[in-house]
């Protein structure tokens, strides 16, 4: 097990996180820790993954990125079980469908910004125990200030103001982490998984499929695998998507 690359994914029971776990665990010599706020959903995802073509190994931990006690407990558990994390994928996120006003912006920032920052910082000491550490923040093209301002860009059209603001803040955090951690050899990236099917926008088929526009999250998983194996190392510290880089 200690020879395997240890990958931890937050929000791994659904959508992009689940597809990424499925992609990674289809390769040998990877151990994927499914970090899920609802441990029973994590176990269910793990059981489902074990029915697929798994060559790597899997485990589940409870991790709510909005709960400091849960974060500390998860860090201690991973430290005791593995002693390090090689790849940390900060994926948990929300658009808080159904909420409005202060509740909506509070929930979105609590998860996508405060949660992502505090959980990522908490796992840095375990990343520093890795020979080849990598930290991937799952962002969105909707968080790009440059694309939002470019009226020719498809990314300038969608509303989603609170979500956009949260991903713009996440991008700033990624830049800051990259500058601080690059000399300690942590490869830090922001990555947009593209518009793909998931529960992010709600649970109706219309929301899951983004009115029929959403692609397959397995494509996002494959692109994340490219980052993990080093094929995007020329883009360390940048805002990646499957086919290139976005402007911040």
Residues that bind ligand NAP (CB under 6 A): 10-11, 13-17, 37-38, 41, 63-66, 91-94, 111, 115, 138, 140, 192-193, 195-196, 198-200, 214
Nearer to ligand NAP, 56 or 221 (CB): 221
Residue with tokens 């929000």: 11
- Alpha-carbon distance 26 to 49, whole Å? 9
Whether 167 is catalytic is yes
Whether 149 is catalytic is no
- Cβ-count burial 3-25 (b if 16+ within 10 Å, e if not): eebbbbbbbbbbbbbbbbbbbbb
Nearer to ligand NAP, 128 or 208 (CB): 208
CB of 28 to ligand NAP, least distance (A): 25
Which of these is catalytic: 18, 30, 163, 246?
163
CB of 64 to ligand NAP, least distance (A): 4
CB of 71 to ligand NAP, least distance (A): 9
Going across the sheet that includes 134-138, the strands are 57-62, 30-36, 5-10, 87-90, 134-138, 187-191, 239-241, 244-246
Nearer to ligand NAP, 134 or 142 (CB): 142
- Alpha-carbon distance 204 to 207, whole Å? 5
CB of 234 to ligand NAP, least distance (A): 23
Nearer to ligand NAP, 13 or 54 (CB): 13
Beta pairing, strands 87-90 & 57-62:
unpaired
Which residues are known catalytic residues? Answer: 163, 167
């Amino acid at each position: 097990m200690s020879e395997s690359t240890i990958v931890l994914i937050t929000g791994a029971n659904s959508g992009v996180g689940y597809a990424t776990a499925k992609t990674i665990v289809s390769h040998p010599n990877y151990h994927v820790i499914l970090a899920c706020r609802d441990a029973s959903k994590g176990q269910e995802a793990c059981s489902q993954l074990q029915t697929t073509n798994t060559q790597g190994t899997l485990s589940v931990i409870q991790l709510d990125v909005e709960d400091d006690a849960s974060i500390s407990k998860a860090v201690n558990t991973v430290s005791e079980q593995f002693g390090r994390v090689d790849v940390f994928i900060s994926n948990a996120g929300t658009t808080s469908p159904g909420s409005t006003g202060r509740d909506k912006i509070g929930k979105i920032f609590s998860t996508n910004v405060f949660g992502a920052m505090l959980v990522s910082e908490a796992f840095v000491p375990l990343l520093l125990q890795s020979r080849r550490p990598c930290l991937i923040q799952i962002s969105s093209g909707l968080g790009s200030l440059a694309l939002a301002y470019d009226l020719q860009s498809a990314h300038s059209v969608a509303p989603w103001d609170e979500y956009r603001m949260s991903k713009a803040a996440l991008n700033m955090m990624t830049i800051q982490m990259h500058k601080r951690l690059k000399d300690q050899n942590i490869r830090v990236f922001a990555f947009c998984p593209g518009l793909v099917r998931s529960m992010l926008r709600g649970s109706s088929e219309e929301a899951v499929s983004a009115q029929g526009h959403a692609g397959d999250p397995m494509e996002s998983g494959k692109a994340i695998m490219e980052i993990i194996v080093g094929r995007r190392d020329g883009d360390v510290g940048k805002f990646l998507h499957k086919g290139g880089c976005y402007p911040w």
